[in-house]
Amino acid sequence: MKVQVAALFSSNKMIGSRIIAEGTHHLAPSLPKVSHTALLVNNRWVHESTGHGVKICSYDVWKKQHNEMARVDLQIMEYQQLADHFRQIQDLKYDYLGVIYLALCIIPTFWGRCLPKENKWASDNKFFCCEVLGFLTGKDYSMYTPIQILKQLTS
């Protein structure tokens, strides 16, 4: 069975979200301020990583916690392939070290430096939001922020 998938981009009023949105907006200033990304399946199920780990929730529940700022339709996927990939990472913990490494590497970008290609602190069995989107779509987003993914998908 084929499923429709989209990348969701959001923000919320929590302090961490505001820091991410403000601290990365310079990487794509023409786009809305975003702090989180997730994968939406059939306009109903959100696959994401939060501080509680890699989970699925309904879009209606997700909307109560997130302000959707952008949505980008991706290629239609085979459900079984998506489900198999998700099962590999379901309930895994949040990749705090990976996201800290990315955050530290963002600081020099304020002075025009580029991000490194490799996340040296990324874990093979922990995921932050960009890594989940990448894992489920066959990309490596371990050194991308949500706004950079949005920029890449809309360019």
pLDDT digits 0-9 by tens, 84-105: 999 999 999 999 999 999 999 9
Number of domains in the chain: 1
pLDDT at position 3: 97
**Per-residue pLDDT tens over the stretch 53-78:** 999 999 999 999 999 999 999 999 99
**Owning domain of residue 136:** 2-154
Distance CA 93, CA 89 (A): 9
Closest to 129 in 3D by CA, of 32, 55, 31 = 55
Percent of the chain with pLDDT over 90: 99
pLDDT at position 60: 98
pLDDT at position 141: 97
The domain that contains 124 carries what CATH number? 3.90.1720.10
**Per-residue pLDDT tens over the stretch 22-63:** 999 999 999 999 999 999 999 999 999 998 999 999 999 999
H helix and E strand count, the chain: 6, 7
Distance CA 22, CA 3 (A): 33
pLDDT at position 114: 94
* Band (125; pLDDT cuts 50, 70, 90): very high
pLDDT at position 61: 98
pLDDT at position 112: 94
3-state secondary structure of 67: strand
Whether residue 23 contacts residue 99, with contact meaning beta carbons closer than 8 Å, is answered with no
CA dihedral 60, 126, 124, 21 (to 10 degrees): 70
* Average confidence score pLDDT of the chain: 97
Whether residue 53 contacts residue 93, with contact meaning beta carbons closer than 8 Å, is answered with yes
Whether residue 40 contacts residue 3, with contact meaning beta carbons closer than 8 Å, is answered with no
H/E segment holding residue 107: none
